Amino acid sequence: MSSMVDTGEPTRLQRIWQSNMAYSFRRNPVAVVSLVIFLIIAVMSLLAPVIAPFDPYDPASIDIMNSEYPPAWVEGSEPEFILGTDDQGRDLWSTILYGTRLSLIIGLCAVGLQAFLGISIGLIAGYIGGRLDNILMRLADIQLSFSTLMVAIIFLAVTQAMFGSETFNQYAIFFLIAVIGVAEWPQYARTVRATVLAEKRKEYVDSARVLGFGAGRIMVRHILPNSLSPIFVISTVQVANAIISEASLSFLGLGMPPSQPSLGSLISSGFDYIFSGSWWITAIPGVVLVVLVLVINLLGDWMRDVLNPKLYKG
Amino acid sequence: MSLLSVRDLTVKFAMRDQTVTALDQISFDLGKGERLGIVGESGAGKSITGFSLMNLLSRPGFIDSGSIQFEGEEIAGLPDRKMRSIRGNRMAMIFQDPMVTLNPVLTIGQQMVETLQAHRRLSRADAEQIAIMKLREVYIPSPEERLAQYPHELSGGMRQRIIIAMALLLEPQLIIADEPTTALDVTIQADIMELLLELCTSNMVGLILITHDLGVVSQMTERTLVMYAGRIIEAGKTREIINDPQHPYTQGLINALPQQTLPGHRLKQIPGNMPGLAAIPTGCAFNPRCPYAVDHCRSTRPETVSYASVEVACHEVNRLHNTVLEDESA
């Protein structure tokens, strides 16, 4: 019964559990289910080397003779391969685990890069204002007027041609992170700028200036922590977008190589076989991708509702 | 040597199609440990005076001409890097609303330690010791616990005390308090003012109190400036100005106090409004609202003259005084 004893001073964990946000989270079954599914996918994919029965990156463990076995519940399957095998004889279950891991890593790193660029630019534009603000925001407008995919396709096609397929395939993950990261920074920059414009009129900023703090310190330590809620919301949505962008690029053959497939390249490689009856190579990774993106978006929706002060009913 | 000496300070705002004058040739002095009140209606330029002293005018405002000497050093137009070592350190400012002046996402301790460390080489533990000491000086109960609290966990009066403690952290020579109690309860107002007075006198800190509350000014300050439309129209010892105001505007302000009216009667307000900065009347800026205005007032701007132990900018101060005397003798 020790949990029933009130210890007086709540621990940090208890405080988080009792906060408004945690309360609204517990009351929202969609958010709870989304988070649970997301965590399952994330943990399993991160533990891929431990969980997966085969190593899809190891050519020695792949036998071309095993190719195109259907999933276990379909007739003609091999019990060894639960979700069947792909066209090269790789175990689909292992490949999906590894592929999801790649997709998640690319998504998160790309959003990290976007956030870094966008937040820095947004803070500077919003805080300093004037001509610099104008220049930076017009740059953002120009960037936004090109679609992400178009920029990415041009960039990746050029780099592929420049470095050759071999080198490109080796560093594809970095190219993808860079191009998705750079292409979407204006989303952050605009949101952060708008928040900073509102925050910098507040008196705590005046009082920080009066206390003799420099512009950099005021931006990073005073304004940024007060602008975090929109950043959180946009980050979840952007992770989902980045995963989709990566999948699209890989599907178009400009992303991860078939030897190290992400979800997108897996879907793409299976697409050639969909009419010959091997639907599972495309369909199963497709379902994983859709579920992953859906739960991230649902979490983002919930977060937007909670953090939006206009919708807050105290 | 005076602590602060302001000469002919002119502040302008560059608007889209014209430049308006927000402060027009303001001059005043402040001795070490002296307490000065600045009073006037909203828009008279009181807060702008405070901000220009701190060199914190934000665009489109700028110091057009004039000098501000602080401890013998010219600070008008000083580059921001140098000004930063003065702000908070030798000159501090207290704002109106304690609810929004503290950063909501940092604890009291973090904010105080950060302020100290920005100006002094101090370890965290030493800075916290100083913070606790200062919190004790402003009568905050159990200051050690307050350091870990966020602003929203404290009451308004408590927060304003903490803001005062933060202003005093680096032992400044001058505190500019911009309506420090307007947002507080009346009972707490008196406490805070008393505290401010006590701290200023015991530490020999100069105080510029910006307010529209003449009662507060008469309790707190030794000298008073009355501002109207960006100019100082009357300056002198607080006692003289409250008891025997010379400028018709100051008279109007004092007559408008509720205490000056019998219960059940209408308050004696000054007719009309403060003119906008873009449309300051020629001559004396107060002439459209002044009951004593004559042609001369509408055409020529009054110079500041010494009259009855105060400095006053009014053409008709002689005549006015005589009329009042006549009224009284009649």
CATH number for the domain that contains residue B68:
3.40.50.300
Cβ(B30)–Cβ(B174) under 8 Å?
yes
Q: For chain B, what is the domain count?
A: 2
> Is B315 domain-assigned?
no
Does B191 share its domain with B165?
no
Burial of A92 by CB count in 10 Å (0-12 exposed, 13-18 middle, 19+ buried)?
A: buried
Contacts of residues B271-278 at CB distance under 8 Å and 24 or more positions apart, as own/partner, are B274/B41, B274/B42, B274/B43, B274/B44, B274/B228, B274/B229, B275/B229, B276/B43, B277/B13, B277/B20, B277/B21, B277/B22, B277/B43, B277/B229, B277/B230, B278/B15, B278/B18, B278/B20
> Is B110 domain-assigned?
yes
> Is B295 domain-assigned?
no
Interface test with B, best of A209, A220, A231, A307 (most B CBs within 10 A): A209
Closest chain B C-alpha to A206 CA, distance in angstroms: 8
Which residue of chain A has the CA closest to B80? A214
Using the beta-carbon criterion (under 8 Å), do B118 and A204 form an inter-chain contact? no
**What distance in Å separates the CA atoms of residue B19 and residue B231, rounded to the nearest whole number?**
17
Does B41 share its domain with B142?
no
**Upper half-sphere CA count for residue B36 (Cβ side, 13 Å):** 25
- Size of the A and B interface in Cβ pairs below 8 Å: 62
Whether B100 contacts chain A with CB within 8 A: yes
**Neighbouring C-beta atoms of residue A190, cutoff 10 Å:** 20
Query: Per the structure block, which two tokens stand in for B258?
Result: 């509720």
> Is B301 domain-assigned?
no
Whether B44 contacts chain A with CB within 8 A: no
- Judging contacts by C-beta atoms under 8 Å, the chain B residues touching residue A20 are none
Q: What is the pLDDT along chain B (330 residues), one digit of tens a residue?
A: 688 999 999 998 888 888 888 888 889 999 888 999 999 888 788 888 888 888 888 778 888 888 899 888 888 878 888 888 888 888 888 888 887 888 888 899 999 998 898 888 889 999 999 999 989 988 888 888 889 898 888 888 888 889 888 888 888 899 999 888 877 888 888 888 888 899 888 888 999 999 888 888 888 899 999 998 888 989 999 998 888 888 888 888 888 888 777 888 887 888 888 888 888 888 888 888 888 888 888 888 888 888 878 888 888 877 777 766 666 665
Predicted-complex ipTM score:
0.75
Closest chain B C-alpha to A224 CA, distance in angstroms: 10
Q: What is the pLDDT of residues A127-150, one digit of tens each?
A: 988 899 999 999 999 988 888 888
- How large is the angle between the packed helices A92-128 and A29-46, nearest 10 degrees? 110
Report the amino acid identity of residue A208.
A
Domain that holds residue B248: 1-90+171-268
Burial of B174 by CB count in 10 Å (0-12 exposed, 13-18 middle, 19+ buried)?
A: buried
Q: What is the pLDDT of residues A15-35, one digit of tens each?
A: 777 777 788 888 888 989 999
Closest chain A C-alpha to B321 CA, distance in angstroms: 43
Does B44 share its domain with B160?
no
> Is B40 domain-assigned?
yes
Residues 155 to 214 of B: which have CB under 8 A from any A CB?
163, 166
A18-32, A167-181, A291-305, B134-148: least confidently modelled range: A18-32
**What distance in Å separates the CA atoms of residue A180 and residue A143, rounded to the nearest whole number?**
12
Cβ(B233)–Cβ(B305) under 8 Å?
no
Query: Per the structure block, which two tokens stand in for B260?
Result: 């000056």
Of B169, B201, B216, which closes a domain?
B169
Does B16 share its domain with B162?
no
**Torsion over CA: B101, B103, B104, B106 (sign):** negative
Closest CA to B226 of B37, B6, B39, B34: B39
Does B252 share its domain with B222?
yes
Using the beta-carbon criterion (under 8 Å), do B102 and A221 form an inter-chain contact? no
Using the beta-carbon criterion (under 8 Å), do B103 and A203 form an inter-chain contact? no
Does B143 share its domain with B207?
no
Using the beta-carbon criterion (under 8 Å), do A225 and B105 form an inter-chain contact? yes
Which residue of chain B has the CA closest to A222? B103
**What distance in Å separates the CA atoms of residue A13 and residue B254, rounded to the nearest whole number?**
58
Closest chain B C-alpha to A28 CA, distance in angstroms: 26
Of B247, B268, B289, which closes a domain?
B268
- How large is the angle between the packed helices A148-183 and A228-251, nearest 10 degrees? 130
- How large is the angle between the packed helices A185-199 and A92-128, nearest 10 degrees? 40
Whether B118 contacts chain A with CB within 8 A: yes
Using the beta-carbon criterion (under 8 Å), do A211 and B54 form an inter-chain contact? no
Whether A79 contacts chain B with CB within 8 A: no
What letter would DSSP give residue B292?
T
Using the beta-carbon criterion (under 8 Å), do A210 and B106 form an inter-chain contact? no
Does B133 share its domain with B64?
no
> Is B323 domain-assigned?
no
Q: Report the share of chain A in percent with pLDDT over 90.
A: 23
**Neighbouring C-beta atoms of residue B132, cutoff 10 Å:** 19
Closest CA to B177 of B29, B80, B46: B46
Q: What is the pTM of this model?
A: 0.77
Phi, psi of B129 (to 5 degrees): -60, -45
What letter would DSSP give residue A35?
H
Does B112 share its domain with B150?
yes
First CA to last CA distance, chain B: 47
User: What CATH topology corresponds to A27-56+78-307?
Assistant: MetI-like fold (1.10.3720)
Does B176 share its domain with B40?
yes
Using the beta-carbon criterion (under 8 Å), do A212 and B93 form an inter-chain contact? no
Does B86 share its domain with B139?
no
Closest CA to B103 of A225, A216, A212: A225
Of B239, B268, B297, which closes a domain?
B268
Does B230 share its domain with B150?
no
Cβ(B34)–Cβ(B45) under 8 Å?
no
Residues 180 to 219 of A: which have CB under 8 A from any B CB?
202-204, 206-214, 217
Whether A163 contacts chain B with CB within 8 A: no
3-state secondary structure of B256: coil
**Neighbouring C-beta atoms of residue B291, cutoff 10 Å:** 10
Out of B54, B105, B163, name the one closest to residue A226 (CB).
B105
Task: Please identify which residue in the block is written with the tokens 């001059």.
Answer: B27
3-state secondary structure of B212: coil
Quickly list H helices, chain A: 12-18, 20-26, 29-46, 48-51, 92-128, 130-145, 148-183, 185-199, 203-210, 215-217, 224-226, 228-251, 263-271, 280-307
Query: Per the structure block, which two tokens stand in for B293?
Result: 């205005």
Closest CA to A137 of A82, A60, A196: A196
Residues 12 to 41 of A: which have CB under 8 A from any B CB?
none
- Judging contacts by C-beta atoms under 8 Å, the chain A residues touching residue B48 are none
Using the beta-carbon criterion (under 8 Å), do A211 and B88 form an inter-chain contact? yes
**What distance in Å separates the CA atoms of residue A104 and residue A98, rounded to the nearest whole number?**
10
Whether B126 contacts chain A with CB within 8 A: no
User: What is residue B328's predicted lDDT score, i.e. its pLDDT?
Assistant: 62
Does B230 share its domain with B139?
no
Using the beta-carbon criterion (under 8 Å), do A207 and B101 form an inter-chain contact? yes
Closest CA to A40 of A302, A242, A304, A291: A291
Whether A229 contacts chain B with CB within 8 A: no
Cβ(B170)–Cβ(B191) under 8 Å?
no
Whether A4 contacts chain B with CB within 8 A: no
**What distance in Å separates the CA atoms of residue A118 and residue A121, rounded to the nearest whole number?**
5
Query: Residue B92 pairs with which residues in a beta bridge?
Result: B175
First CA to last CA distance, chain A: 33
Phi, psi of A212 (to 5 degrees): 90, 25
> Is B280 domain-assigned?
no
> Is B287 domain-assigned?
no
Most confident by average pLDDT, A161-170, A179-188, A261-270: A179-188
User: What is residue A1's predicted lDDT score, i.e. its pLDDT?
Assistant: 41
**Torsion over CA: A290, A296, A302, A308 (sign):** negative
- Judging contacts by C-beta atoms under 8 Å, the chain A residues touching residue B54 are 210
